[in-house]
């Protein structure tokens, strides 16, 4: 019999985690060892936090949620999640197809020029980075020019650049890194950067709350700091 973390109910065989795509690679590294230790199966559902919140509004639930901090706070206000545990800080970056020239994005002016010169730009529709990017191009006064050549989809938009369908991809760096077909140009310049906190919480009505808490504690452990950095983020 497997040794189980204290308090985990062995009569149930799995837990369900709803997670933002930005934390997918961290979960995929952490979950196998957690499953071996606990004897549980961790079912993962990945989407943007906004899309997952809509699914929860429609009645979907789970045991643990790994969303943006704002998303977890929203669920706490609704009484659906008990508390928030912060996991990682994530910045927005730019990627190009592997081997393609990398534009200068080191300053606000250079980044603006790169967007104007690019023939096409991919960004997410409902992800935190995509929502921020839409406000950013308004702030830079180039919304019309960028929107005319934007490819807006959810998922890992770096795949669009990897296929040669977009010259630039703008998204959380942790998400851009999920495509093997791109090179990361770098983060947005500091004066334009937006930092997202990824956080976790346990659903109030979860029958596997103790197991969900154990998984979140694992994700939040200082020992996971090196993993989080490898995935393009910083531990909180």
Distance of alpha carbon 157 from alpha carbon 61, whole angstroms: 26
Indicate the CATH number for domain 14-89+196-235: 3.40.190.10
Mean pLDDT, consecutive 10-residue stretches, the chain (236 aa), reads 40 87 97 95 95 96 97 97 97 98 98 98 96 98 98 96 98 97 98 97 96 97 97 96
145-166: buried (b, 16+ CB within 10 Å) or exposed (e) per residue?
Answer: ebeeebbbbebbbbbbbbeeeb
Domain segments of the chain as ranges: 14-89+196-235, 92-192
According to DSSP, the β-strands at 234-235 and 92-97 are unpaired
DSSP per-residue letters across 163-212: TTS-SEEEEEHHHHTT-TTEEEEEEPPGGG---EEEEEEEBTT-TTHHHH
Q: Does the model's pTM come out above 0.75?
A: yes
92-192 belongs to which CATH class?
alpha beta
Measure CA 49 to chain center: 8
pLDDT in tens, 76-131: 999 999 999 999 999 999 999 999 999 999 999 999 999 999 999 999 999 999 99
Distance of alpha carbon 137 from alpha carbon 11, whole angstroms: 52
Q: Which residues contact 52 (CB under 8 A, 6 or more apart)?
A: 18, 19, 20, 45, 60, 65, 67, 71
CA atoms within 13 A on the CB side of 224: 26
* 92-192 matches 14-89+196-235 in CATH topology: yes
Describe the strand order of the beta sheet including 234-235 as a list of residue ranges: 41-47, 14-20, 64-68, 196-202, 85-90, 234-235
Residue 168's nearest CA partner among 121, 230, 221 is: 121
């Amino acid at each position: 019999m497997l040794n189980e973390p204290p308090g985990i109910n062995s009569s149930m065989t799995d837990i369900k985690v709803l997670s933002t795509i930005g934390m997918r690679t961290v979960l995929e590294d952490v979950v196998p060892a957690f499953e071996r230790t606990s004897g549980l199966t961790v079912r993962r559902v990945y989407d943007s936090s906004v899309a997952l919140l809509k699914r929860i509004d429609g009645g979907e639930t789970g045991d643990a949620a790994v969303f943006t901090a704002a998303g977890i706070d929203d669920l706490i206000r609704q009484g659906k999640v008990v508390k928030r545990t912060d996991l990682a800080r994530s910045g927005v970056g730019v990627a190009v197809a592997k081997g393609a020239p990398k534009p200068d994005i080191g300053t606000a002016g250079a980044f603006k020029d790169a967007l104007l010169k690019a023939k096409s730009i991919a960004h997410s529709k409902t992800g935190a980075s995509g929502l921020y990017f839409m406000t950013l191009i308004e702030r830079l006064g180039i919304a019309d020019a960028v929107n005319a050549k934007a490819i807006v989809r959810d998922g890992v938009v770096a795949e669009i650049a990897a296929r040669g369908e977009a010259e630039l991809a703008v998204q959380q760096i942790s998400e851009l890194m999920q495509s093997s077909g791109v090179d990361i140009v770098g983060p947005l310049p500091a004066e334009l950067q937006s930092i997202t906190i990824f956080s976790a919480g346990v659903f109030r009505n979860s029958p596997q709350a103790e197991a969900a808490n154990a998984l979140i504690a694992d994700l939040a452990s200082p020992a996971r700091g090196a993993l989080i950095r490898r995935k393009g983020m910083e531990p909180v």
